[in-house]
Amino acid sequence: MKLQITQIGEEVLRGEARELSREEILSATTQELIEHMRETMRSAPGVGLAAPQVGMPLQLAVIEDREEYHAKLAPAQLFERERKPVPFHVLINPRIVARQGSAVEFFEGCLSVTGYAAVVPRARAVTVECLDERAQRRRVEATGWYARILQHEIDHLNGVLYVDRMLSRTVTTLENLERMWKDLPMPDLLKRLKARGR
């Protein structure tokens, strides 16, 4: 079942989501929610979806960066973003326990901020501790685009949207991003933005 994705302005996107107990994680209700979130994320399409985005204030997110999503990007862009396929997985009660490297800036969008994107600085690498859908402890080490996805989704669980972290003068419609900025290497793009006084 495809769920409705809440949009910026909805209160559920701004509160801190609550943790789930082991019993809740293993319940039929949560397992069903995970499947519905997977279907919703894929049909959007997106690379991550947090429970608050479907109106549920729970510390739960699903992530998947499918190879087919990379088709629009040139090999040089995939390399620059350190973007590789990420198999479907579930994060429950996640915590970022380490951030490594200097901040890396790329355009980011969000299924809850439909039609827009902006440059967002994020740590290049993170370590995340969480539970999976079987309530088993997991430790995730991620770099590049995968690290960005994790940071974005975990922000959702803490009431933070990318608009809170973006370089405000870079916000653009997805249409204009596609038309004017998509094929520009990030160093060149950032140079142009600085020239306009970002």
- DSSP E strand stretches across the chain: 48-50, 60-65, 86-109, 116-131, 137-143, 172-173
Q: Which helix (H) or strand (E) holds 174?
A: helix 174-176
Q: Is 153 a catalytic residue?
A: yes
d(CA 174, CA 62): 23
Residue 130 backbone dihedrals phi, psi, to 5 degrees: -160, 180
Q: Which of 129, 153, 175, 178 is catalytic?
A: 153
d(CA 159, CA 58): 11
What are the distances in angstroms from CA 190 to CA 51, 107, 121, 187?
33, 11, 12, 5
Size of the chain, expressed as the number of residues it contains:
198
Catalytic residue numbers? 153
